[in-house]
């Protein structure tokens, strides 16, 4: 059990009781947050950083955009997350013919008495996997905006609240852009962070091959927390303290994006708040009740890069949003 001062042990005190009893000897579950890491690590070998970023988004109450090639475990990771929190899970394959009603739901006519009833769509879930989100039309993509921002869906003038917690994990293939519709800035701004999974190291990939020899490791993932636990965790994350000096450092990074010569669009106040929430979540995962400059630095690229719009000259010069974010972090003085 983590006994460090301020460690997040009070909310998930009952988590260890539900932790998998067949945990490997070399991966003990000795703290509540470690139980969550371990549950996801059972299906995602060699990707501790990806798991950490996913937990940052979940505890920060945000959504995740995963950009990577097919077959690296994006869907499996989303399913494992839902199982670890005993949450409902829905996967939607985005295609050009997908309609907003296919996501939100629609009013259904009952011929017998001529009445209508609302048939809920797949968005009414705890974890929604929007697979290849950029293959749907902009009209369908925009159907998720209200859900991601306000955790509600409006159909035929009637607003329906979504289950809490509500998390969207959207995927994009960064290689195949044929027949896709790039996400607009307004949509990208709704994602707390963007992450790439990448190929696993050879040794971890070898472990994965043998782990799946006879069964799918996903079937062995057992709940280590409930959705109520997650809501309580998110509330505790909001209480993590950020000193004014660290807050000013965060805003200095954000302001630098608005003044950078290679950018036509910098980070919005929503993006600044996203970095604030993410830094709180990272500190919480580290067992601290305060945010350090290192929390802000380490999350600047995954939280800010996808919010940056490059100028035409910079884009054709081979510059990327991630490279600009890294440059800004390196050039901005760190508070002591």
Q: In the chain, at which residue ranges do the beta strands (DSSP E only) sit?
A: 63-67, 89-93, 105-110, 115-120, 127-131, 152-155, 158-161, 167-172, 191-195, 263-265, 309-310
Determine which helix (DSSP H) or strand (DSSP E) holds 105, and give its type and residue range: strand 105-110
Q: What is the pLDDT of residue 10?
A: 43
| Cβ atoms of 162 and 105 closer than 8 Å | no
Q: Is the pTM of this model over 0.75?
A: yes
Q: Is the dihedral of CA 325, 67, 154, 233 positive or negative?
A: negative
Distance CA 281, CA 298 (A): 12
- pLDDT recorded at residue 180: 77
What integer is the mean pLDDT of 186-199?
A: 89
In angstroms, what CA-CA distances link 279 with 16, 241, 249, 274, 295?
Answer: 26, 10, 12, 8, 5
Q: Lowest-confidence range among 110-119, 152-161, 240-249, 292-301?
A: 110-119
pLDDT per position as a tens digit, 274-287: 999 999 999 999 99
- Kindly list the structural domains of the chain, giving each domain's residue range(s) and its CATH number in brackets, ordered by start: 27-238 (3.40.50.300), 241-336 (1.10.8.80)
- Model confidence band, residue 179 (pLDDT cutoffs 50, 70, 90): low
pLDDT over 80 at 2, yes or no: no
More confident site: 189 or 70: 189
Question: Could you tell me which residues are beta bridge partners of residue 309?
Answer: 265
What is the band of 92 on the pLDDT scale with cuts at 50, 70, 90?
Answer: very high
In this predicted structure, what is the pLDDT of residue 24?
36
Region 217-238: mean pLDDT is: 88
Please give the DSSP secondary-structure letter assigned to residue 198.
Answer: -
Please give the pLDDT value at position 204. 82
- pLDDT for the residue numbered 176: 66
pLDDT of the residue at 23: 36
Q: Please answer whether residues 122 and 103 qualify as being in contact, where contact means their C-beta atoms are separated by less than 8 angstroms.
A: yes
- pLDDT-derived band at 334 (thresholds 50, 70, 90) equals very high
Q: Is pLDDT above 80 for 271? A: yes
Between these two residues, 31 and 17, which has the higher pLDDT value? 31
Q: Which tens digits make up the pLDDT trace of 21-73?
A: 333 333 333 356 788 888 888 888 778 899 999 999 999 999 999 987 777 77
Q: How far is CA 95 from CA 127, 131, 133, 140, 168, in A?
A: 19, 9, 8, 10, 17
Least trusted range by pLDDT, from 2-6, 20-24, 128-132, 318-322: 20-24
* pLDDT at residue number 31: 59
């Amino acid at each position: 059990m983590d006994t460090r001062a301020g460690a997040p042990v009070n909310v998930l005190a009952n988590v260890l009781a539900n932790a998998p009893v067949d945990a490997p000897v070399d991966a003990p579950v000795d703290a509540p947050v470690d139980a969550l890491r371990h549950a996801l690590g059972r299906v995602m070998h060699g990707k501790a950083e990806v798991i950490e970023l996913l937990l940052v988004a979940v505890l920060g109450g945000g959504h995740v955009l995963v950009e990577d090639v097919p077959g690296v475990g994006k869907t499996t990771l989303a399913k494992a997350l839902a199982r670890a929190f005993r949450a409902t899970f829905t996967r939607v394959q985005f295609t050009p013919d997908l309609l907003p009603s296919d996501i939100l739901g629609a009013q259904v006519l009952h011929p017998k008495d001529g009445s209508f009833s609302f048939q809920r769509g797949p968005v009414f879930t705890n974890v929604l996997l929007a697979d290849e989100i950029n293959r749907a039309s902009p009209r369908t993509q925009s159907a998720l905006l209200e859900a991601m921002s306000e955790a509600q869906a409006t159909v035929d003038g009637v607003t329906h609240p979504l289950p809490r917690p509500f998390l969207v994990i959207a995927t994009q293939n960064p290689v195949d852009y044929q027949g896709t519709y790039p996400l607009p800035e307004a949509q990208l701004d709704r994602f707390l962070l963007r992450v790439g999974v990448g190929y696993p190291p050879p040794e971890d990939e070898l472990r994965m091959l043998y782990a799946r020899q006879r069964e799918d490791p996903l079937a062995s993932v057992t709940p280590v927390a409930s959705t109520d636990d997650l809501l309580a965790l998110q509330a505790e994350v909001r209480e993590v303290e950020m000193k004014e000096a660290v807050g000013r450092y965060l805003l200095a990074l954000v302001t630098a994006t608005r003044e950078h010569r290679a950018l036509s669009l910098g980070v919005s106040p929503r993006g600044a708040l996203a970095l604030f929430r993410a830094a709180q979540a990272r500190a919480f995962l580290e067992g601290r009740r305060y945010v350090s400059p290192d929390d802000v630095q380490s999350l600047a690229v995954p939280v800010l890069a996808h919010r940056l719009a490059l100028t035409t000259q910079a884009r054709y010069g081979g510059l990327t949003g991630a490279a600009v974010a890294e440059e800004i972090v390196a050039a901005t003085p760190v508070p002591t």
